[in-house]
Structures are given as C-alpha cells and as structure tokens.
Chains A and B, each alone.
Chain A
C-alpha cells in the first residue's frame, strides 16, 4: 500500500521534474500565503529526513561498542528512512499544491503515523540497549 503509493508518487515526481510547469497548468493560483505555508511544511519534512540521516551517521560513528551487524542495520535503516522522508516531502508538497489549485481537500497521508511509530520503536530499542549496557 505505502510502497505502491510511494512508487507511483516517485513516478509522478519524475514526470513533474521533466515538465515543471505542469503543476501550474491546472486550477487557479492559490493565495501565495498558502503556497508558502506548503513550502515551509515541505522544508520541515526535508529537515526531518536530514535529522534521520544525521542519526544514521551518528549510529555509524559514535557507537563503537555495538555489534557490527546491529550497527550497520541501524545505520542503513535510518539512512533509508531519511531518503524516503525527502522523497515523501516532494510528493506531499506536489499533492497539496495541486489540491489547493483545484480547490479540493488536502491529501491525507499515513506516512507521519508510520514514521512516528518507527521512531518510537527505535527509541525503545535504544533505551533497552543502554539499560543492558551495550552502548554508552
């Protein structure tokens, strides 16, 4: 569900990249303040992705006592999550911009909940590792 959603959105994003004026072709230009709010949301998601990347690099470099396989897994999971966040940021921004131009409701997304649950699970794992004295 999320994956097919993501793949379709990446395809849409690439098509938009090749024809950037397409977003502007439909509907009417919304109040610029809404467009700027949408842009700031996009940037917030981008920063979320960058924060996940920073976490990935931190796990890689600052947890030398961790088992190498665990460390690599944690690093890769965080880095991939960061990349997904960045792609999702573009996709959601485009969908919101289109919805505003067409006067439709803003798109709903499961992504924030999934990400929050993932980060929560990761935090629990890290807490357990600290208690067990495996890291820190």
Chain B
C-alpha cells in the first residue's frame, strides 16, 4: 500500500488515469465475487423452496422475495461498479453498505422461516 499521500491529490486519479495498485479494479472484482456468492445462496434457497414445505401462496411470496433480493443486490453492485469507474473515486456510502448487508440478513430470515416451518 505504501505511505498515505498528504499532498492533497487524494481524489484525483493518478497520472495516466490508473494507479499501480489497480484499486478500483480490485474493488470491482470484489463486488463481482460477492454478487456471485449471493447468487449461489439464492439458488440454494430457491431449491429449498421447490422441495416443498410451504403452501402455494406462501411459496409464491417467498419466491418473489428471493427474486427481489437478487435484483436488489445486482442493482447495488452495478451502481457501485459504475461509481468506481468514474474518474472521481467516491468512497462506499453507508446506504449501499447497509443495503447489501440487508440483502444477506433477508436471506437468513428466509432460511430461518422455511427451515422452521417444514
């Protein structure tokens, strides 16, 4: 990482438009990996839903919840990746961080619900 620069050039893209550490690229890939992990969990949750355990309308509602969580997470990741691609590097906002964590908590709640009401 090296020493922090205190020369006021904090928000400027380094000369050449890329920094040697490729930080934005690495962060973008981290979002991609996390989206993939989220997708795997949602597929497992969907499989559990198909295996039964919930009545028709409840099942439809839970399926809609899973779809909503997936769309929300992909949208969040996409938005953040677009921000990272911009010349001015904005740090992650608490709103996006909380939303992403909220998706995870929602999936946990889904799992608890469906496992408890077998």
Contact = CB atoms under 8 A, between A and B. Distances in A.
Given A13-B98, A17-B95, A79 B111 contact: yes
Interface residues of A, number: 48
A86 B44 contact: no
Contact of A97 (B10, B91, B98, B104): B91
Nearest to B5: A31
Nearest to B111: A79
Contacts, number: 144
Given A43-B33, A47-B37, A54-B44, A87 B112 contact: no
Interface in B78-105: 84, 89, 91-95, 97-98, 100-102, 104-105
Contact of A36 (B27, B38, B40): B27
Interface in A1-60: 13, 16-17, 20, 23, 29-40, 42-44, 46-47, 49-51, 53-54, 56-58, 60
A35 B37 CA distance: 23
B11, B19, B45, B104: which has the most chain A beta carbons within 10 Å? Answer: B104
B89 A60 contact: no
A94 B97 CA distance: 9
Interface residues of B, number: 46
B89 A20 contact: no
Given A32-B91, A46-B100, A90-B98, A61 B41 contact: no
Nearest to B105: A83
B10 A93 contact: no
Interface of B is mostly: helix
Interface string B18-50: 010101101100110110011011001101100
A46 B104 contact: yes
6 contacts: A33-B23, A36-B89, A79-B115, A90-B94, A90-B98, A90-B101
Interface of B: 1, 4-5, 10-11, 19, 21, 23-24, 26-27, 30-31, 33-34, 37-38, 40-41, 44-45, 47-48, 51, 84, 89, 91-95, 97-98, 100-102, 104-105, 107-109, 111-112, 115-116, 118
